[in-house]
Structure 1
Amino acid sequence: MSANPYPTPAETLERELEVKKSRFIARAGQVESREQAMAFIEQAVADYPDARHHCWAYLIGDPESATTAAMSDAGEPSGTAGKPILNVIQHKRIGDVIVVVIRYFGGIKLGAGGLVRAYAGATQNVLAALPLATHQPRTRLKLALGFAQEQPLRHWASQHGAEVERVDYGERVALTLDLPADAVPALRDFTRAKGIDISDD
């Protein structure tokens, strides 16, 4: 998981481009796993079942060091659709993003160069208009504390955008905290002052 914030789609957006009577409908949105990406593609196919091609590319994770990326020409000549879509995504440096470009053939062949330009252009159109949010990396830490320390810790969590994911009560309180990565130093200061143990597993 990246420790740096990065831009990610804030919503799903569609833009249409017409090239020599072929319609290219580009749909962009946020995905955080291969499963979500496949579901996004299936939805696009379901929404435009009569289109000739549903070409796509996605990039998951920090665009500077992506966890995974994939693409498909979906029946177009090799290298003329998926790769241009992915190239534009990488150039825009957006993470957790998928673009599906749906093509309705207009009867005029575009040639390999024309296809590359059309798919890149459709992707560029939709990503240029796409509202972005900032993905804030989060981390999970386990803490061991006394019963009297739980309430102060919960108070700290509520002030720092942290969420208590799990609490187990035994001789001490075992608590799992999900928090923004940039809040970890502040948590370490807080726990040191309160005598709370952190385990980083």
Structure 2
Amino acid sequence: MNTAVTIYRLVEPYQYEKEIKKSVFIAHAVPVLSEEQAHEWLKKLSIPEATHNCWAYRIGQKYRSDDDGEPSGTAGRPILQVIEKQNFDQLLILVIRWFGGIKLGAGGLIRAYSGTAAECLRQAPRTEYIPQKTASILCSFSDYALLKARMAEYDAQIINEEFGAEVEIEITVPEDAYTALYDRVLDLTRGQAVIVECQ
């Protein structure tokens, strides 16, 4: 019995707005590939004049959240729990709050932040996340066209090519297809090509 959990990624940035007891909550969900990218988006989307800019992200095994002045554990952590519960990876959610004059209390804040983040994700366009490996293939010009023609068989995407004395092809390939592609590259080039996994 296969009990593997489907992990999702966001297709594109998405925004959702909700008013709760006169406070306005605006959720931004953004796909991110690195912590640096998450912080760039936070700089771009945060509104310093707003009452609070609370956020959380998950990128593989990296998790972070911030309550931005709300009582500890009432904003960032509930947003992170929404990301985990809906099985998203490589995702940042920022929830901006404009205070409307009515205090919500700790339970109310948790419901407001998690509810806004959850509804934003429910509506956002998603796709199944397939873990990828990045690799570099060094081959001769005579093998280049043949190798390039076979990439699609393994759902490999060419992300960069450099032509010098030899050709260097940088690719991404689904993790579960990497070993088969590796063997195929060596087979097609009679062991002449070099394929190295990038970190």
TM-score interval, normalised by the smaller of the two chains = 0.7 to 0.9
- Are residues 9 and 164 of structure 1, via their aligned partners in 2, closer, same or farther at CA, if it must alter by over 3 Å? closer
| Offset from partner CA, 1:139-170 (integer Å, 9 cap, x none) | 23344544432221122235543317344654
For 2:142, the equivalent position in structure 1 comes to 148
Q: Which ranges of structure 1 fall in alignment gaps of 5 or more residues?
A: none
For 1:131, the equivalent position in structure 2 comes to 125
1:191 aligned to 2:192? no
Are the counterparts in 2 of residues 56 and 100 from structure 1 also a CA contact under 8 Å? yes
Q: Could you tell me the TM-score, scaled by structure 2's length? A: 0.82
1:16 aligned to 2:10? no
1:108 aligned to 2:107? no
| Alignment partner of 1:122 out of 116, 126, 142 | 116
Report matched runs for 1:33-72 at 5 Å. Answer: 33-46=34-47, 49-61=48-60, 66=61, 68-72=62-66
Amino acid at match of 1:127: L
Q: What secondary structure is seen at the aligned counterpart in 1 of 2:73?
A: coil
Are the counterparts in 1 of residues 141 and 167 from structure 2 also a CA contact under 8 Å? no
Amino acid at match of 1:28: A
Query: What is the Cα deviation at residue 127 of structure 1?
Result: 0.9
Give the Cα separation in 2 of the matches to 1:94 and 1:83.
15
Q: What secondary structure is seen at the aligned counterpart in 1 of 2:68?
A: coil
Q: Comparing 153-162 with 114-123, which one deviates more in the overlay? A: 153-162
1:162 aligned to 2:157? yes
Q: What secondary structure is seen at the aligned counterpart in 2 of 1:40?
A: helix
Amino acid at match of 1:85: I
How many positions carry a matched residue from both structures? 189
Are the counterparts in 2 of residues 85 and 119 from structure 1 also a CA contact under 8 Å? yes
Are the counterparts in 2 of residues 72 and 82 from structure 1 also a CA contact under 8 Å? yes
- Are residues 162 and 108 of structure 1, via their aligned partners in 2, closer, same or farther at CA, if it must alter by over 3 Å? closer
Q: Comparing 176-185 with 82-91, which one deviates more in the overlay? A: 176-185
Q: Comparing 4-13 with 78-87, which one deviates more in the overlay? A: 4-13
Give the Cα separation in 1 of the matches to 2:35 and 2:181.
34
Report matched runs for 1:84-99 at 5 Å. Answer: 84-99=78-93
- Are residues 74 and 155 of structure 1, via their aligned partners in 2, closer, same or farther at CA, if it must alter by over 3 Å? same
Aligned residues: percent identity? 33
